[in-house]
């Protein structure tokens, strides 16, 4: 099925904010203002998490065997979107605001409902398992999710945004809510926004 796609603004690769400053500023943020994120801000965070950084397809976060088992989704008031790293674009996956339902799937954590954007990091085990076997593959996929999440949170800090990684949620409820394929396992929910 063909989905509508929206190109994102080109990533900024030299913002003038040092890594040390981003590390110092990064804190778990659970309260957000109602100010929406711009397309540039969303694109920059997505690029930091899984953006393509060279012609061979390598990404911002390390990946065992450079396989890339992660997929990123964005949940906002406008719907659900899938990040396409090769095109640096968002693919629409469904309309309507699903943040309240996503919050319910995450043990009613308010920050999931009130953040302007929730980044959902999913992993596809089969992409890595064919090369490394199932047990080792899960380790690698989970490690990669941590790398991508930290990149996203550091970029959020560099942009003056806040976020918090969440691992407490009902996997099946999140999969159903976002219409994820059966091979996508949700690994992280990351509410993002301007600090409230």
CATH 1.10.10.10 fits 17-89+104-193, yes or no: no
Q: Return mean pLDDT, the chain.
A: 94
> Which three-class secondary structure state does DSSP give residue 52?
strand
Query: How many angstroms separate the CA atoms of 41 and 11, rounded?
Result: 9
The per-residue pLDDT for range 78-116, each reduced to its tens digit, is 999 999 999 999 999 999 999 999 999 999 999 999 999
SS3 content of the chain, % helix, strand, coil (to 5): 40, 25, 40
In the chain, domain spans: 17-89+104-193
CA dihedral sign, ordered 106, 101, 4, 153: negative
Distances, alpha carbon 165 to alpha carbons 12, 151, 154, in Å: 24, 12, 12
The per-residue pLDDT for range 113-165, each reduced to its tens digit, is 999 999 999 999 989 888 888 788 889 999 999 999 999 999 999 999 999 99
- Give the pLDDT confidence score for residue 1 in this predicted structure: 66
Long-range contacts from 84-87, C-beta under 8 angstroms, 24+ separation: 84/5, 85/46, 85/50, 85/51, 85/52, 85/59, 86/52, 86/57, 87/5, 87/7
Which residue did the predictor score with more confidence, 18 or 119?
119
Token pair 């540039």: residue: 40
CB distance 29 to 153 below 8 Å: no
């Amino acid at each position: 099925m063909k989905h509508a796609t929206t190109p994102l603004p080109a990533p900024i690769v030299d913002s003038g904010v040092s890594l040390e400053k981003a590390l110092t500023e990064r804190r778990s943020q659970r309260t957000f203002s109602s100010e929406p994120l711009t397309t540039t801000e969303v694109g920059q965070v997505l690029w930091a998490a899984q953006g393509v950084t060279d012609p061979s397809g390598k990404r911002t976060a390390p990946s065992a065997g450079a396989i890339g088992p992660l997929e990123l989704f964005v949940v906002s008031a406008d719907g659900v979107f899938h990040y396409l790293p090769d095109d640096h674009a968002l693919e629409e996956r469904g309309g309507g605001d699903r943040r309240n339902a996503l919050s319910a799937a995450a043990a009613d954590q308010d920050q999931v409902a009130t953040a302007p954007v929730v980044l959902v990091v999913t992993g596809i085990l089969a992409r890595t398992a064919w090369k490394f076997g199932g047990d080792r593959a899960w380790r690698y996929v989970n490690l990669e999710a941590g790398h991508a999440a930290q990149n996203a949170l550091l970029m959020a800090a560099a942009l003056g945004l806040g976020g918090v990684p969440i691992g407490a949620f009902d996997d099946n409820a999140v999969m159903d809510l976002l219409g994820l394929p059966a091979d996508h396992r949700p690994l992280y929910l990351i509410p993002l926004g301007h600090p409230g």
